[in-house]
């Protein structure tokens, strides 16, 4: 197995680097018993955390995914994911991280299907999608564990109607990823003969990228899903110990937790690689939906850090001003890359202009990494906590590590806060309200409750 290990550098979280706003040795000592106890509880609960065993537990499913992907590649030129939340952000993260940044637009060099991930129900978006599809050459992957997700099922209903009107076989053009034994999508699959994949019972949506939810789209786009799983398995191996000081996921979680207890309520994820831009989106859902709770520490206390996504160097020109001179309420996690998969030499195009000639002869990769270093330096000078995770290169093996790292870290942070990070009760109220307003059976009481709610006062509408 390759050992292209990702690295965590947390020097800039410490008071020795950023001053009294950083974490002191005394604070580490004060939290030691709490951090150790949470790590031991994680070990006790590990068997019930389905995502921990995902990288190695179902090789036959991986082979089925690869075989299905090859069949799709042979028959179709476009693959569309219909999903929302973890069913979309995971596939989008992996696709954009590992494939050409203009993958769909390549006219030469791309022999595999275009990939679209449709994660919203804006009508203009659906109309735009249908404008660029040849339905006869398009395969859709509908992903919903319950088969009742309003957004995904409405998308599917539009697509199914279009396929029927075009005289195309829904069974051939749609792959269904859903629950093993129940739900509306299974009923549809039985009627139309669709190929189906199972979302394991012990895996929630935002933890599901390494299931068929994410792996099928990746395999269709030519990504080595076995290497992705190998990377996740390697990180699982690295994080198997109960000593938080030597366990990368636990240490990163411990840093986040101590910072949070010191008042850092915002967690900024800032990759310095466009390929990892949507990793920050994936992280934002994982962190927010898993940890935002009103019952932390076993009490009715609202807990959770607010995740913010940023992109280096782009957001040095939009957000860094706030991070350097705004409130001391943030932890910035920078993601860097040792070796970019390609580079561009900056030519000496304007030798007569002294203010830019210094750039000539350097590369864009050098410039990106230099700006990353400069950002961390500026944060240090301002006394702002920051840490860096570095990938030797962005590839399947290192991305698998990165995904598994944050899955484990999220569970550990939840353990520290005393919350259950694998459901999303706060999301359900909005879902139920939507069902009620659309007249779904069984939600009559909720509709009546909503209709009885106070109406907007015109005095406060401008």
Q: Which of 317, 352, 441, 455 is catalytic?
A: 317
Distance CA 440, CA 443 (A): 6
Query: CA-CA distance, 144 to 151, in Å (whole number)?
Result: 10
Residue 214 and residue 203: Cα distance in Å, rounded? Answer: 13
Judge whether 317 counts as a catalytic residue: yes
- The alpha carbon of residue 461 and the mean position of all alpha carbons in its chain are separated, in whole angstroms, by 37
SS3 392: coil
* Alpha-carbon torsion (382, 17, 312, 369), positive or negative: positive
Cβ atoms of 24 and 32 closer than 8 Å: no
| Angle in degrees, 0-180, between the axes of helices 225-238 and 212-220, rounded to the nearest 10 | 140
User: Per the residue annotation, which of 118, 151, 236, 289 is the catalytic one?
Assistant: 289
Kindly name the residue from 5, 46, 100, 431 that is annotated as catalytic.
431
Asked if 338 contacts 393 with a C-beta cutoff of 8 angstroms, the reply is yes
Cα Rg, the chain, nearest whole Å: 24
Residues composing the chain: 462
Q: How many CA atoms lie within 13 A of 98 on its CB side?
A: 26
Beta-bridged to residue 332, according to DSSP, are: 268, 386
Other beta carbons within 10 Å of 338? 14
- Residue 349 DSSP one-character state: -
Q: Say how far apart CA 117 and CA 278 lie, in whole Å.
A: 12
With contact defined as beta carbons under 8 Å apart, do 252 and 405 qualify?
Answer: yes
Please, which residues have CB within 8 angstroms of residue 46's CB and are 6 or more apart in sequence? 52
- For residues 389 and 334, the answer to whether their CB atoms sit within 8 Å is yes
Contact indicator for 74, 113 with CB cutoff of 8 Å: no
CA distances from 330 to 18, 101, 323 (A): 13, 30, 7
Q: Let me know: does 415 contact 38? Beta carbons within 8 Å.
A: yes
Label the pairing between strands 386-391 and 7-9. antiparallel
Active site residues: 289, 317, 431
């Amino acid at each position: 197995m390759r050992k292209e290990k990702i690295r965590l550098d947390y020097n800039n979280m410490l008071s020795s680097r950023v001053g009294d706003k950083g974490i002191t040795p005394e604070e580490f000592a004060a939290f030691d018993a709490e951090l150790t106890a949470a790590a031991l509880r994680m070990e006790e609960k590990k068997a019930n955390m389905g995502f921990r065993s995902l990288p190695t537990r179902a090789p036959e499913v991986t082979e089925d995914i690869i075989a299905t992907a090859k069949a799709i590649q042979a028959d179709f030129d476009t693959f569309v994911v219909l999903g929302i939340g973890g069913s979309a952000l995971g596939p989008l993260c992996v696709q954009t991280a590992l494939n050409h940044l203009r993958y769909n637009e390549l006219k030469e060099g791309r022999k595999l299907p275009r990939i679209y991930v449709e994660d919203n129900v804006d009508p203009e978006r659906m109309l735009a999608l249908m404008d660029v599809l040849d339905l006869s050459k398009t395969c859709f992957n509908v992903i919903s564990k319950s088969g009742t997700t309003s957004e995904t099922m409405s998308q599917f209903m539009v697509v199914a109607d279009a396929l029927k009107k075009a005289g195309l076989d829904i069974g051939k053009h749609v792959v269904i990823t859903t629950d093993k034994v129940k739900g509306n999508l299974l009923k549809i699959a039985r009627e139309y003969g669709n190929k189906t994949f199972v979302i394991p019972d012990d895996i929630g949506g935002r933890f599901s990228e390494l299931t068929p939810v994410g792996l099928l789209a990746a395999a269709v786009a030519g990504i080595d899903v076995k290497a992705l799983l190998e990377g996740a398995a390697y990180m699982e191996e690295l994080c198997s110990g109960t000593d938080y000081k030597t366990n990368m996921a636990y240490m990163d979680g411990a840093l986040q937790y101590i910072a949070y207890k010191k008042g850092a309520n915002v967690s900024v994820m800032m990759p310095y690689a466009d390929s990892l831009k949507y990793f920050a989106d994936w992280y934002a859902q994982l962190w927010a939906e898993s940890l935002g709770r009103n019952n932390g520490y076993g009490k009715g206390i609202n807990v959770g850090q607010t995740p913010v996504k940023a992109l280096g160097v782009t957001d040095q020109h939009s957000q860094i001003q706030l991070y350097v001179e705004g409130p001391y309420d943030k932890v910035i996690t920078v993601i860097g890359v040792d070796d970019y998969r390609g580079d561009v030499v900056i030519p000496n195009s304007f030798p007569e202009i002294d203010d830019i000639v210094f750039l000539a002869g350097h590369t864009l990769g050098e410039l990106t990494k230099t700006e990353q270093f400069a950002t961390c330096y500026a944060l240090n000078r301002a006394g702002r906590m920051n840490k860096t995770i570095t990938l030797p290169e962005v590839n399947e093996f290192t991305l698998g590590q990165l995904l598994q790292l944050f899955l484990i870290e999220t569970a550990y942070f939840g353990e520290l806060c005393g919350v259950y990070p694998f459901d999303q009760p706060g999301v359900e109220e909005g879902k139920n309200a939507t069902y009620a307003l659309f007249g779904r059976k069984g939600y009559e009481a909720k509709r009546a409750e909503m209709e009885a709610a106070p109406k907007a006062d015109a005095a406060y509408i401008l």
